[in-house]
Structure 1
Amino acid sequence: LGPDNGGDKGVSRLHATIQYSNHGIVLIDLGSTNGTMLNNYRLAAEQPYLLNNGDEIRCGDLLMHIFFEKPQTT
């Protein structure tokens, strides 16, 4: 995650990443200047945090809500 031309204040060029791991989907702050918040908790840099449905991520002025959808079965 990083800024685009939208000009979100407080978002570093390389702010955070969302990755798939053996435990699920994780959020990792990449040592950003202003930090990354997960549900109002400031993340330690370079540490994976498991994401859950409904989680709130804040990077500077950018606010995101995470929602997971189950794949349709046939």
Structure 2
Amino acid sequence: MLNLKPSSDSDRRTLKFLEKNPSLSQSLLEDCGPNLSQVATIIEPVLNASSRCEVSSFYIQAVTTGRTAFLTTNLPDDRATQVTSVGASWLIGRNNTCAISIKSTSISRCHAVIGHCPDRGFYIMDVGSSNGTFVNCRRLAALEQKLLNDGDLVELSHTRVEFFISGRRSRTPAHQDTQV
């Protein structure tokens, strides 16, 4: 699959991540080129996301290279990293078909969506959940889209999650209450 030679510990960790997530390998290599160190600059924050958590043990990290976007999370098990498929939106909820499935009775079957617009960044939208979606302690109205910033606190009902953004050309403006 990959004929790349790791030259550092970071490169070795990146290669291991790519081997575990082959569906991402092609997209990342197309976006970053065959230079493993370039890909490592995208993957290294993914591998260290849990160490950024300050108020929750859970995180969702949005990763973009400009053309490619995906999410990583340690929900529902804070010991393992889950990687979503490459896309532009990801459903979060209790249903097994959700990109991020959380088995908690306080989470609706289809609770919220995280989306990505290349020109504006990542956003979250509550899709009519019973117990609400909150960003930085402010409840979102159903179908309200809220731009997300690196470090935002997202609450899906009673589940607290820190939201991080990494990658090249990712949107990381100052905190603001901007609607999409």
With structure 2 as the length reference, what TM-score do the two structures score? 0.37
Tell me the residue number matched to 2:93: 2
Tell me the residue number matched to 1:28: 125
Percent identity between matched residues is 34
Q: Secondary structure at the match of 1:66?
A: strand
More strand by share: 1
Structure 2: any 5+ residue segments left out of the alignment?
1-91, 169-180
Following the alignment from structure 2 to structure 1, what is the Cα–Cα distance between the partners of residues 110 and 126?
9
- Tell me which structure has the larger Cα radius of gyration: 2
- Flag the structure with more relative contact order, 1 or 2, with Cα contacts below 8 A and sequence separation at least 6: 1
Asked if structure 1 preserves the Cα contact closer than 8 Å seen for 2:121 and 2:147, the reply is yes
Amino acid in the other structure paired with 1:63: R
Alignment coverage as a number of residue pairs? 71
Could you tell me how far 1:6 is from its partner in structure 2? 5.5
Following the alignment from structure 2 to structure 1, what is the Cα–Cα distance between the partners of residues 158 and 105?
5
RMSD: 1.7
Structure 1: any 5+ residue segments left out of the alignment?
none
Following the alignment from structure 2 to structure 1, what is the Cα–Cα distance between the partners of residues 131 and 139?
10
Asked if structure 2 preserves the Cα contact closer than 8 Å seen for 1:37 and 1:43, the reply is yes
* Higher deviation after alignment, 60-69 or 27-36: 60-69
Following the alignment from structure 2 to structure 1, what is the Cα–Cα distance between the partners of residues 130 and 102?
19
More helix by share: 2
Tell me the residue number matched to 1:15: 111
